[in-house]
Amino acid sequence: MARENAALVGRRDFARLLALGGAIPFLTPGAAWPQTRALGPAPARPDERYWQSVREQFVMPPDLAMLNAANLCPSSAPVLEAVYGHTKDMDRDPSFDNRVKLGEGRENTRRILASFLRVAPEEIVITRNTSESNNLVSNGIDLKPGDQVLISSDNHPCNNNAWKQKAKRFGFTVKEIPTPSPHPGAEHYLAAFRNAITPSTKVIGFTHVTSTVGDLFPARELCALARERGILTLVDGAQSFGVIDVDLSDMQPDFYSGSAHKWPCGPKENGVLFINKRSHAKIWATIYSAYPGSVGISATFEGFGQRDEPAMIAFGEALQFQTRIGRPQIEARARELTQALMEGLKKLDGVKIWTSTDPSRTVAVISCQPGSLDARRLQAALYQKDRIGCATRGGQDRPGLRFSPHFYNTHAEIDRTIAAVKKYMAVGV
Ligand SMILES: Cc1ncc(COP(=O)(O)O)c(C=O)c1O
């Protein structure tokens, strides 16, 4: 393998890169991942062997069970290859002439994104992440004293803090709809938002799937409720994009945001903002610079200056990777693993699950409190001793651990996680 690597990158470069501690697979895209070309679409009923072959598309070592998709997902080998290959091509010849094709690649990613979300390329802005997308919305809408924005209290800070800060600046008001746990049902949220709407309500901002406890919001119904009253909707899709087979033509939000580096398993610092055609005239761009996109709203809204086009192209590859496997199959797999983990944790004495066990109210995020165990110490022990990655929630508000399995996980990893939590519940950490 070392000889192959050296032949591919040149002996001196290879030695230098090894000295830098570079991962060998990253130096030899393709050569180190022969299996990447072998993966076919998921069969109608994919078995564990099929999912194992999906797992092998990722460069995580086989003993590492990462159940932290809600935070950051690994990129698959084809995505790493795309980042590396296009970056290398650009850096070999950074002329304008050579980079024309990168601009075309960026527009191709826009088309892939549009088809992935079932909308038009003219409605897609490629951003850096969900934080940026949400802020482009709260910055870009004209709001004034007397106007009201309704938000749900489990929204991420890039949604709620942003609205509150801008309320201070522009004089509008913000009202929060509480998000009790476990999820009280779709009807609860429809009624809560309906009752809170006043003639001053101009925007509703909610999260499709919350990052706190994984609650699935009735996005389509909430968007309809707002639309009928002339209210704009911002749906934060950070925890739904790339795991739910999202159809924005059905949901019909005004704005929907997402990050490439979460469930889509794409490159870092890429994101999406969908801006519904009907709302193009209702939002101002925040950044005016060179190199905008080519079509629709991107031509005025996406002039963010020089971009990392190789990463943008790799974003498209990540979406195609999922599409090749099958998006309904990916959603079903993530849900199945989540339910299995939830079932296992439920049986452990003393473990309190904050997430609803009703599959219509959740997708692939579970938060739980492991009795009186210190969550941070437990998370550290799980990682260091058992090679299981998850997140913690500190403070008083639904504290504990957060697990978020995805399609690259296996049932063996779920069983291992349940067994490890059981062990620490018995012996402590
Ligand atoms: C619901 C939600 N919105 C927004 C974000 C911010 O995502 P990013 O850091 O990719 O901008 C997160 C991150 O976890 C999130 O869970």
C-beta 127 within 6 A of ligand 1 = no
CA-derived radius of gyration, the chain: 22
C-beta 236 within 6 A of ligand 1 = yes
C-beta 156 within 6 A of ligand 1 = yes
How far is ligand 1, taken at its centre, from the CA of residue 261, in Å?
Answer: 10
Helices assigned H by DSSP within 141-240 = 157-170, 186-196, 219-228
Q: What is the pLDDT of residue 287?
A: 98
pLDDT in tens, 257-276: 999 999 999 999 999 999 99
Measured CA to CA in angstroms, residue 52 lies from 18, 55, 387 at distances of 29, 5, 18
CATH for the stretch 102-322: 3.40.640.10
pLDDT in tens, 176-202: 999 999 999 999 999 999 999 999 999
How far is ligand 1, taken at its centre, from the CA of residue 422, in Å?
Answer: 30
Q: What is the pLDDT of residue 402?
A: 98
Which residues of the chain are under the pLDDT cut of 50?
1-35
How far is ligand 1, taken at its centre, from the CA of residue 7, in Å?
Answer: 41
Atom of ligand 1 nearest to the CA of 262: 10
Provide the 10 A C-beta neighbour count for residue 55.
17
Cis-peptide into 74, omega within 30 deg: no
How far is ligand 1, taken at its centre, from the CA of residue 131, in Å?
Answer: 6
Reading the block at residue 279, the tokens are: 């709302």
C-beta 130 within 6 A of ligand 1 = yes
Q: What is the pLDDT of residue 38?
A: 61
Inter-residue contact 33 to 25 (CB < 8 Å): yes
By CB atoms closer than 10 A (0-12, 13-18, 19+), residue 308 is buried
328-427: CATH superfamily: Aspartate Aminotransferase, domain 1 (3.90.1150.10)
C-beta 212 within 6 A of ligand 1 = no
Considering the entire predicted model, what is its pTM? 0.92
The domain ranges of the chain are 102-322, 328-427
Atom 16, ligand 1: which residue's CA is nearest? 211
Out of 127, 131, 135, 273, mutate this one to test ligand 1's pocket (max ligand atoms within 8 Å of CB): namely 131
pLDDT in tens, 225-241: 999 999 999 999 999 99
How far is ligand 1, taken at its centre, from the CA of residue 66, in Å?
Answer: 18
Atom of ligand 1 nearest to the CA of 134: 4
Q: What is the pLDDT of residue 4?
A: 38
Q: What is the pLDDT of residue 394?
A: 87
Atom of ligand 1 nearest to the CA of 128: 11
Q: What is the pLDDT of residue 39?
A: 79
Provide the 10 A C-beta neighbour count for residue 403.
30
Atom of ligand 1 nearest to the CA of 259: 10
Pairing mode of beta strands 400-403, 391-393: antiparallel
Inter-residue contact 364 to 69 (CB < 8 Å): yes
